[in-house]
Structure 1
Amino acid sequence: MLELNKLSKSYAERPVLHELSWTFKAGEFVSIMGDSGVGKSTLLNLIAGLDVPDSKPGLSPIIVDGIAMSGLDDDAATRLRRARMGFIFQAFHVLPHLTLLQNVALPLLLNGMPTDRAKEMLDAVGLGGREHDFPHQISGGQMQRVAIARALVHRPALVLADEPTGNLDPDTADAILSLLQREIKATGACAIMVTHSQHAAKMTDKILLLSKDGLQETTMSTRLSNN
């Protein structure tokens, strides 16, 4: 579903990611852990096409569903992201002038799909009955749930989640992670979750550790012994 092929990124000649290579499979829920500043959020932004990797002639560092991101212009990348990806941002990016229902329905409208599932997803994240509220009327944790519902509503093939449970209480976090698991298994999507939460990581199929040496699969016991 997703291939990374010697993916690198530097800012002002400071290397952040260096020649990362990994293959993520459809139907797989993967968490990525690592120290602060190691490049976890940068990695998600690169995969989504929100940032541009360092270029090397003849190399396609990011391939999504068989499509090389480096070969797409801005419009084509936007269409691919809109149709095939769901992104859960740390900063929510919930649109303040839209109701909660309109926020969740937006990916469906942009893809020319029926909007019935928007209410279903609001119910699934525990916000049933709040459809006509606006973002200023809800808490940060509730906005996080709106963002999660919006990312999943159009059944994307690739879900990218940046600390999706960071603003949620433990019980709500467990419910949201279970929802992610169900959606991934039901649709055969691939999901990549960046998290600092050991509890959240343990609910995924695979845990990857990002360090200056690249990506490597790990277990929670190994992760704990390295801290």
Structure 2
Amino acid sequence: MLELRRLNKSYASGHPVLSELSYTFHAGEFVAIMGDSGVGKSTLLNLIAGLDHPDPGEAAPILVDGVPMAALDDDAATKLRRERMGFIFQAFHVLPHLTLLQNVALPLLLNGLSQERAAEMLAAVGLGGRDHDYPHQLSGGEMQRVAIARALVHRPALVLADEPTGNLDPDTAHSVLQLLRTEIRASGACTIMVTHSEAAAAMADRTLILTRAGLCEAPQLKRSRP
């Protein structure tokens, strides 16, 4: 589903952050990535999404469903992101001027799909009946639920989550991760979650540690509340 081939990325100063990174992620698996601050976890997600560009080198360092991201122009990359990817950010990025239903329906609208599933997803995340509320009426945990519903509503093949529980209390974080796990199981999406929390990572199928030497398997983590 997602293949990294000798991926390299340096900061503007020339300092390398990712070096010769290779790994394959498969459809339907939920993978957590941990690592020290500054090691490049969020940078890796941005590169996978095509929001940032790798250093010159390997001709096709990132392939999504066999499609080399480097071969796509801006319009084609935007289309692939819109149709095949879903994003869950630590800061939510829920649009304040749109209702909850409009926020969740946005990927459907942009992809020319029926918007009926938006209400179903709001109900699935425990916000049924609040279609016409606005984000300012929600708690942090509720806004994250809206962000999850929006990320999954168009049934993306790849879900990228950057510290999705970083701003949540432990009970809400546990609930949000259970919901995410259930929804990606149902959709069969490949999901990559960057997190600093061992408890959050334990909700994934497996955990990888990102270091300067690359990605390596972490010991199995005991599942508990984040």
Shorter-chain TM range is over 0.9
- List gaps (5 residues or longer) in structure 2: 222-226
How far off its partner does 1:191 sit? 0.3
Cα shift at 1:220: 4.4
SS of the residue 2:3 aligns to: strand
Query: How much has 1:185 moved relative to structure 2?
Result: 2.3
1:58-80 per-residue CA deviation (whole Å, 9 max, x = no partner) reads 52010000100000000000000
Amino acid of the residue matched to residue 68 of structure 1?
P
Cα deviation, 1:189-218, whole Å, max 9, x if unaligned, reads 100000111111111111000011111011
Cα distance in 1 for residues equivalent to 2:91 and 2:173: 17
Opposite residue 62 of structure 2, the aligned amino acid is I
AA aligned to 1:210 is: L
- RMSD of aligned Cα (Å): 1.4
Specify whether residues 153 and 202 from structure 1 end up closer, same or farther in structure 2 by C-alpha distance, changes over 3 A only. same
Spell out the pairing of 1:41-56 with structure 2 (5 A cutoff): 41-56=42-57
- Count of aligned pairs between the two proteins: 220
Taking structure 1 as the reference length, the TM-score comes to: 0.92
What is the alpha-carbon distance in structure 2 between the residues aligned to residue 117 and residue 163 of structure 1? 26
Instruction: Map 1:197-216 to 2 at 5 A.
Output: 197-216=197-216
- Mean Cα deviation higher: 187-196 or 79-88: 187-196
- Cα separation, 1, equivalents of 2:148 and 2:183: 11
Q: Which residue pairs with 1:224 in the alignment?
A: none
**Distance in 1 between residues matched to 2:86 and 2:103, nearest whole Å:** 13
**Structure 2 residue aligned with 1:225:** none
Identity %: 75
Q: Deviations over 1:92-129 (max 9, x none)?
A: 11112111110000001111111111112112222223
Alpha-carbon separation, structure 2, partners of 1:149 and 1:138: 14
1:39 and 1:104 mapped to 2: Cα distance? 29
Q: Deviations over 1:16-56 (max 9, x none)?
A: 11111000001110000011111101100110111111122
Name the CA distance, whole Å, in 2 between partners of 1:198 and 1:205.
13
User: 1:139, CA displacement in angstroms?
Assistant: 2.6
Map of 1:59 onto structure 2: 59
Structure 1 residue identity aligned to 2:66: G
Matches within 5 A, 1:71-220: 71-220=71-220
- Shift in Å, 1:159: 0.4
What SS does the corresponding residue of 2:144 show, helix, strand or coil? helix
- TM-score (structure 2 length as normaliser): 0.92
Provide the residue aligned with 1:27 in structure 2.
28
Listed one character per residue, the Cα deviations across residues 141-189 of structure 1 (whole Å, up to 9, x for unaligned) are: 3222211110011110000001112223333322322222222222221
Aligned partner letter, 1:217: E
